[in-house]
Structure 1
Amino acid sequence: MLSEKSTPVVRATLPVVGAAIGEITELFYAKLFEAHPELLRDLFNRGNQAAGAQRQALAGSIAAFATRLVEQPGTRPDAMLRRIAHKHASLGVAPAQYDVVHRHLFAAIVDVLGEAVTPEVAAAWDEVYWLMANALIAIEQGLYAEQGCLSGGTWRDWEVVGRTEETADVVSLLLRPVGEGARPLPFRAGQYVSVQVELADGARQIRQYSLVGAADATVRQIGVKRERAGATTPAGEVSNHLHDHVRVGDTLRVSAPFGDLTLAEDPADRPMLLASAGIGVTPMLSLLHELVARGHRQPVLAVHGDRSPADHALRAEQDTLTGKLTAGATAFWYERDATSGDRTGLVDLGEIEVPAGTVAYLCGPLPFMRAVRAQLLAKGVAAADVHYEVFGPDLWIAG
């Protein structure tokens, strides 16, 4: 909780800081990487930095956290904090790095806002920062402890033991931990791992990939979509490296599993809707495996949208798993080439029955998830029952 002394100061300065937060975060990253180039080379996603996505996500999270402190005292946005903490843990972020961030972030604030940053203002926003940072550190330490390791110590070598070209742009990799008797760490359906690769320029870039198969499998499967260059985004460095250079027998550095797009521990049955688009299908397959293993008896609808049936990775597995459920069904939309039984266009739940009490899980591009969430809320699904996973910086909170 923000102190009584700092609350009115943060409330009064929030509009000014909020208006400048984009400029502040841009200058912050410039200062950070000038002082610590190794962080851009080996920790931060260079593609997201080039596109400005990471700056947007940081600005959104700071603004959301500060707003929550002054508008709803005594509460905090735990869902946002958990999502960030899981991503940090998958990267191996350590508590000491928060001191580094603090130094360069506040230097950027002073440079941008100048004389407006009085000692009183600086102290109030310092309190905001450390409330957020310490909350994240505590969650991350708990996540590391669950994996039986110290901060940043989850990396292991894994061998690629299988490779399947699912579509023109998606490849599945089967991974097994290296070492005699080594077994994969357990994971919860819906979670992801980080994969670190060394690129041609020596950078060790990291990306997250959802685990696809059943939690009790002896190997781990990830699906990698080749990220091609867009009008405003560069080609994916890691995805293209994995597609073009990684083959069976190669070794990858892989983290322990993290992520909070998971089913409730309570086994009580409720209707489920699993909505995905593109490569967002991967965590949904893991959730379907878990629902099959639990013997889930309530309706489960797997919804998916894609460019065409040929681009729909792992459709056969999606069909098979829903077919094993007592009340499983699928509804697929394609922008082109839809065949009999499928729908043409973007995902539209207007004519889809959504039972009362449905819990929904979403993964895919942000516009897709926002549209589906709006459709679900219009059908009476509770906001608290709509869960999502963002591949990359969480720009939902920045929007």
Structure 2
Amino acid sequence: MGEQSSSADTPLWAVVELEQFNTPGQTQASQWRRSLRSASRWLVGKNKAEQQVKEESELRALPEVKLAHLVPPIDWVPATKALAQQLNGLEAPVTFFITPPHGGHVAVVNHWAETHRVACVPPPTLSELAEGDTQWVARCANQRHWAVPALERHFLRHTQGIQGVREFLERALSGRLGQGVIGCDSWAYAYLQQVIGIEGAPVFTLQSMEGEQLSHYFTKIATHGGLSPLVYSTRTGKPVLTEPATQHADKAPNKELQRLAAHCRGHIGLAWHYWRERLREPTSDDEEALWLVDALAEAELSADTGDIATLVLHALLIHGGLDDDSLGQVLPFSHHEALNARLALQRKGVVSSGEGRWQITPLSYASVRQLLESRNYLVDPL
């Protein structure tokens, strides 16, 4: 799973075996630039930032209605169809489909199950997890085919909280539960692989997208919304999107979107958030063009982030998000310390609440992942 550019002919929605996943070109350079930028801000502040062709003060956020047409929610159906093709003919009792946070594994597996009329296994309640109750595993019996859209919702990282998922995976991998498809956050997968061991089961994921593919995707979804926008970079002043008439021309990929692809490690779910949140329009009504403000501006973590905050971030990633009560149960310090660390991360914009649990914000994910990797924490394979 090294750094290697995908072929320009690779489809937008390619589902591949985990071993075939490659990060986009320039990913390692992007990480180096992010480290250098963080160090520079710590030393000299942000007042000497890169010279911009267009200043943010000249721009304004897009109205929600216009933004909804330009950047509609991701349609994960093509990914579902690509997964179904890979599953066709597989005889394994369990197949995994993993993606990083905001990567779509829940939507894809849910849609696959609905399309194939396969029942989804509901997650255990938090009280069941906290008490080590394994009755939910018994409820999975007597089904020839089943699906688990979000395995990260089926465990807590402590002695009792891991019992149920351990028993479930042992039964499932042995074939005693019939045949199933499991969607799983890539961080939860890495953790369960380490503490339980799930070797032998096929594992698929979405192949990364290069900048050229992102350009085609963002152009396509805007065109479907009835718009064909011209988008320029505030950094360079150059067009960001590939114009429809030149999509198949022999033309080098746009550097701005290749930079975004590298920053997001090719994950469309993360790139979508950057694109949507960084589009701007001029304050003057005389201009029709749109602008993409610095695509890598984000809530970054400082190099001196404390151990408690780092452990909170790691726990949130392993579980795909947690509420405050559950967060306190999986950390080796007091609930008060955990809450204070979470509040500090919330104030910095690194975590936010969604679906009743605290999660790493999409625009902070790259910075958080790099911090954890630099401190030798267990990281995901994507």
Q: TM-score, normalised by structure 1?
A: 0.25
More strand by share: 1
